[in-house]
């Protein structure tokens, strides 16, 4: 590690970067199409190139400094697996969790309606991320059709209401169970598959669900979609006029009608469910089943040599993941008030997978952060809506270069002996 | 070596095993007595690992019987076998790479539960002091020899009566092989029955009470370790023909 700075190298780097950016930005920024004509914008182009060159020069100098070298070294030695903390380790989460819960509970009362809807969306993706994280992150089964379970949850609420008259609270557990059953049905035939093959089959599964929803018009309403009911609070409804045979909330308490109130209520219910799922997952990981999932991901043959039934382990991972996806679907449907098949395309599966991968496979905190980053950023980028997907892609590429193992290094507390547990 | 009680612990009776159309074991009959060290030698692809795995029903025997302590286990689940006193360390030291040494050992308790875990981990650390030094190290960062010790220790964590080892000497330096085999001898001294699948015929037969030689899925020869060691056919085929 030499810490002497080689200016010549930096200058060469800078010139190269400038040349490259000229080639890339030249046609994109330098030329503005105007009907059949075009105008050139040399000043804008030169500014962009200058920014890139200055940036490259600064980075080049920094990397050659002692601090930069340290960072590079750290980064290069940073991607070799999980950090395992000693079992007795008291994590800082002990302080962070209560604060997060309090902030989460207070948020809906201070946030505007718009922010609230974004938060709800964020939490829905947290649920989706957590669900897929069990399948991909913990059990190591690549599932590209996760959106199928999401759709089952969402349509479960809508169709359950339409045909059976079930409300939100009855459909919430039922949809989770339905999704879990679907998970088992998908799980059985794919148990013998690994990696790529599994990914293809699950991809097909997601598409099949979407196609059924689109084409079985008489049952699902096809592309027109179906209405989804709002949750009720002990029979009190949050719409202007009662639709489900109860009393509207605002009439009961003699309040003026506020359309934001329903979002507050959805948010709070969702927040509770997310906390419950987080807690359950936290416990599961420490139980034998959680260890079995991780063991299965790490070495299937070793698992079998311990007499573990890999069929059951895979199925349980699929079912747990699927039911969490189903829960997310129910909340999505009620939040939109309406579902149709366009919400359940492959892009959605890819987004959920991105959340899990960006978050760090297997890391719960990472998934929560990534879910918010990936749902809130697009909202903030509304002005540059045209570039959203581009920026999204760039973010992914940068992430994979700088943090190939995800935002949050998986740090887990080692498991220790627990007395009296079989 | 002659004072071994001749009570049969595990017995194969005319076992056939197929992988699809390929027959890997043909009419295999053999047995392991209580307290013995028995080794199975044979060249690559002879079917040694298949025989060992078939005890766990993976793959399952299509004909014949596998009997353990008087009970037929031919059709029992792997979990049943593992929780009834048979442990195996599979070929190629399959440790869980992202788990620490201690966690790997704890995984070994899965068949029987964690009731004795603390005590048994201490016991493993006494048997393999190397593991103690590395208890919080992730097992993927350990050397091959250390991983093999870990794989054996993990198998021992389920307090087996019968320990199955598939090529514990694979890819290890002679000194480490010696070390591991001497530990196996100690373990066997405590009354554990050991079934050893090995390429390293010399070491294995010296350690063993009895041995079997497998060729093309069939048992070709059997005898005491000493008998096989001096047998000219065995010497030619497996001991480099000295
Ligand atoms: N999963 C499998 N599918 C198909 N054939 C298999 C499978 N496993 C093993 N075989 C075949 O069965 C035969 C016996 O294999 P086995 O692994 O038991 O040999 P081995 O004696 O353990 O050899 P080695 O000393 O090289 O480990 C080989 O011909 C092998 O190709
Ligand atoms: Mg083998």
In this predicted model, what pLDDT tens digit does every residue of B135-172 receive, in sequence order?
888 888 899 889 999 999 999 999 999 999 999 998 88
What is the per-residue pLDDT for A224?
A: 87
Inter-chain contacts counted by CB atoms under 8 A, chains A and B: 92
Give the integer Cα–Cα distance in Å for A321 and A298: 19
**Mean pLDDT on B178-192:** 92
Q: At A128, list the tokens.
A: 């989706």
Taking an 8 Å cut-off on Cβ atoms, the answer to whether A82 and B78 are in contact is: no
Which of B94, B113, B158 lies nearest to residue A421, judging by beta carbons?
A: B113
What is the per-residue pLDDT for A276?
A: 94
Q: At A279, list the tokens.
A: 């807690």
Q: Convert the pLDDT of each residue in A76-98 to its tens digit.
A: 555 455 566 665 566 666 778 88
Taking an 8 Å cut-off on Cβ atoms, the answer to whether B82 and A307 are in contact is: yes
Give the integer Cα–Cα distance in Å for A131 and A332: 15
Q: Convert the pLDDT of each residue in A302-328 to its tens digit.
A: 988 898 888 888 899 999 999 999 999
Contact A171, A330 (CB under 8 A): yes
**CA B44 to ligand 1: nearest atom:** 26
Report which listed range, A55-64, A232-241, A376-385, B137-146, is most confident.
Answer: B137-146
**CA B214 to ligand 1: nearest atom:** 21
Taking an 8 Å cut-off on Cβ atoms, the answer to whether A417 and B117 are in contact is: yes
Distance from CA of A194 to the nearest CA of B (A): 18
Which of A84, A307, A308 lies nearest to residue B138, judging by beta carbons?
A: A84
- Is residue A420 pLDDT above 50, yes or no? no
Provide the residue ranges of all domains of chain A, joining segments of one domain with +.
7-74, 92-412
Taking an 8 Å cut-off on Cβ atoms, the answer to whether B90 and A416 are in contact is: no
Residue with CA at minimum distance from ligand 1 atom 22: B49
Alpha-carbon torsion, ordered A119, A121, A127, A132, to 10 deg: -130
Least confident of A67-76, A183-192, A391-400, B177-186: A67-76
Percent of chain A clearing pLDDT 70 (strictly above): 83
Helices marked H in B115-157 — which ranges? 117-127, 129-133, 144-156
Give the integer Cα–Cα distance in Å for A388 and A384: 7
- E-strand ranges in B34-114 read 37-42, 63-68, 71-72, 86-89
Q: Convert the pLDDT of each residue in A382-417 to its tens digit.
A: 676 666 677 777 777 777 777 666 666 555 666 666
What is the per-residue pLDDT for A319?
A: 93
Q: Would you call A308 an interface residue with chain B, using a CB distance cutoff of 8 Å?
A: yes
- Is residue B57 pLDDT above 80, yes or no? yes
A75 confidence band (pLDDT: 50, 70, 90): low
Q: Would you call A81 an interface residue with chain B, using a CB distance cutoff of 8 Å?
A: yes
Contact B38, B209 (CB under 8 A): yes
A360 dihedral zone (left: phi>0; alpha: psi -120 to 50; beta): left
Which of A84, A306, A418 lies nearest to residue B111, judging by beta carbons?
A: A306
What is the per-residue pLDDT for A384?
A: 67
What SS3 class is residue B37?
strand
- Is residue A240 pLDDT above 80, yes or no? no
Residue with CA at minimum distance from ligand 1 atom 3: B19
- Is residue A3 pLDDT above 60, yes or no? no
Q: Convert the pLDDT of each residue in A191-200 to its tens digit.
A: 777 777 888 8
Give the integer Cα–Cα distance in Å for A221 and A227: 10
Query: What is this model's ipTM?
Result: 0.85
With helix as H, strand as E and coil as C, how does chain A read?
CCCCCCHHHHHHHHHHHHHHHHHHHHHHHHEEEECCEEEECHHHHHHHHHHHHHHHHHHHHHHHCHHHHHHHHHHHCCCCCCEEECCCCCCCHHHHHHHHHHHHHHHHHHCCHHHHHHHHHHHHHHHHHHHHHHHHHHCCCCCCCCHHHHHHHHHHHHHHHHHHCCCHHHHHHHHHHHHHHHHHHHHHHHCCCCHHHHHHHHHHHHHHHHHHHHHCHHHHCHHHCEECCCCCECCEECCCCCCCCCEEHHHHCCCCCCCCHHHHHHHHHHHHHHHHHHHHHHHHHHCHHHHHHHHHHHCHHHHHHCCCCHHHHHHHHHHHHHHHHHHHHHHHHHHHCEECHHHHCHHHHHHHHHHHHHHCCCCHHHHHHHHHHHHHHHHHHHHHHHHHHHHHHHHHHHHHHHCCCCCCCCEEECCCCCCCCC
B1 confidence band (pLDDT: 50, 70, 90): very low
Residue B100 Cβ < 6 Å to ligand 1: no
Residue of higher predicted confidence among A376 and A415: A376
Residue with CA at minimum distance from ligand 1 atom 5: B19
Inter-axis angle of helices A310-336 and A261-286, nearest 10: 170
Contact A223, A237 (CB under 8 A): no
- E-strand ranges in B96-217 read 162-166, 193-198, 210-215
DSSP letter for B140, please.
G
Distance from CA of A131 to the nearest CA of B (A): 22
User: At the top level of CATH, which class does the domain A92-412 belong to?
Assistant: mainly alpha
């Amino acid at each position: 590690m030499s810490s002497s700075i080689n200016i010549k190298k930096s200058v060469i780097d800078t010139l190269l970067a400038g040349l490259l950016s000229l080639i890339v930005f030249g046609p994109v920024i330098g030329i503005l199409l105007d009907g059949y004509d075009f105008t050139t914008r040399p000043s804008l182009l030169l500014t962009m190139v200058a920014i890139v060159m200055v940036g490259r020069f600064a980075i080049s100098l920094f990397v050659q400094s002692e601090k930069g070298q340290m960072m590079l070294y750290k980064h290069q030695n940073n991607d070799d697996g999980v950090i395992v903390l000693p079992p007795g380790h008291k994590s800082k989460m002990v302080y962070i969790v209560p604060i997060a819960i309090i902030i989460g509970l207070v948020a809906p009362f201070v946030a505007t309606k718009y922010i609230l809807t974004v938060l709800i969306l964020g939490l829905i993706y947290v649920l989706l991320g957590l669900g897929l994280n069990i399948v991909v992150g913990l059990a190591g089964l690549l599932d590209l059709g996760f959106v199928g379970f999401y759709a089952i949850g969402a349509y479960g609420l809508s169709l359950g209401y339409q045909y059976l008259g079930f409300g939100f609270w009855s459909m919430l557990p039922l949809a989770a169970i339905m999704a879990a059953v679907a998970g088992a049905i998908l799980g059985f035939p794919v148990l013998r598959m690994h990696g790529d093959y599994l990914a293809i089959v699950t991809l097909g599964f997601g598409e099949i669900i979407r196609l059924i929803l689109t084409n079985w018009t008489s049952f699902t309403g096809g592309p027109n979609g179906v209405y989804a009911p709002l949750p009720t609070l002990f029979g009190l409804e949050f719409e202007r006029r009662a639709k489900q045979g109860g009393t509207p909330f605002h009439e009961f308490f003699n309040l003026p009608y506020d359309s934001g109130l329903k979002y507050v209520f959805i948010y709070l219910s969702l927040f509770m469910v997310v906390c419950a799922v987080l807690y359950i997952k936290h416990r599961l990981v420490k139980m034998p089943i959680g260890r079995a999932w991780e063991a299965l991901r790490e070495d299937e043959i070793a698992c079998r040599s311990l007499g573990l039934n890999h069929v059951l382990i895979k199925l349980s991972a699929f079912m747990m993941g699927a039911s969490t996806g189903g829960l997310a679907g129910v909340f999505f449907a009620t939040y939109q008030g309406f579902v149709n098949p366009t919400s359940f395309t492959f892009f959605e599966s890819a987004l959920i997978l991105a959340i899990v991968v960006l978050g760090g496979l297997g890391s719960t905190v990472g998934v929560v952060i990534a879910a918010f980053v990936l749902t809130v950023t697009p909202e903030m980028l509304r002005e540059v809506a045209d570039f959203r997907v581009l920026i999204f892609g760039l973010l992914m590429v940068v992430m994979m270069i700088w943090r190939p193992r995800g935002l949050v290094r998986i740090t887990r507390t080692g498991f220790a002996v627990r007395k009296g547990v079989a | 070596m002659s004072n071994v009680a001749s009570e049969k612990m595990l017995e194969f009776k005319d076992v056939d095993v197929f992988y699809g159309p390929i027959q890997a074991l043909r009419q295999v009959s053999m047995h392991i007595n209580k307290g013995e060290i028995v080794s199975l030698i044979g060249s690559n692809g002879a079917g040694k690992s298949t025989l060992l795995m078939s005890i766990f029903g993976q793959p399952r025997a299509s004909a014949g019987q596998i009997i353990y302590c008087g009970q037929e286990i031919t059709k029992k689940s792997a979990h049943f076998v593992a929780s009834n006193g048979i442990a195996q360390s599979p070929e190629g030291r399959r440790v869980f790479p992202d788990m620490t040494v201690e966690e790997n050992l704890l995984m070994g308790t899965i068949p029987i539960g964690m009731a004795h875990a603390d005590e048994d981990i201490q016991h493993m650390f006494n048997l393999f002091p190397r593991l103690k030094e590395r208890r919080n190290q992730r097992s993927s960062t350990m050397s091959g020899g250390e991983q093999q010790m870990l794989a054996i220790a993990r198998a021992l964590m389920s307090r087996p009566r019968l320990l199955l080892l598939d090529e514990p000497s694979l890819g290890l330096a002679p000194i480490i092989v010696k070390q591991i085999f001497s530990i196996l001898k100690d373990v066997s001294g405590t009354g554990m029955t050991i079934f050893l699948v090995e390429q390293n015929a010399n070491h294995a037969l010296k350690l063993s009470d009895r041995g079997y030689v497998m060729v093309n899925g069939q048992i070709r020869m059997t005898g005491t370790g000493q008998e096989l060691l001096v047998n000219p056919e065995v010497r030619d085929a497996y001991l480099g023909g000295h």
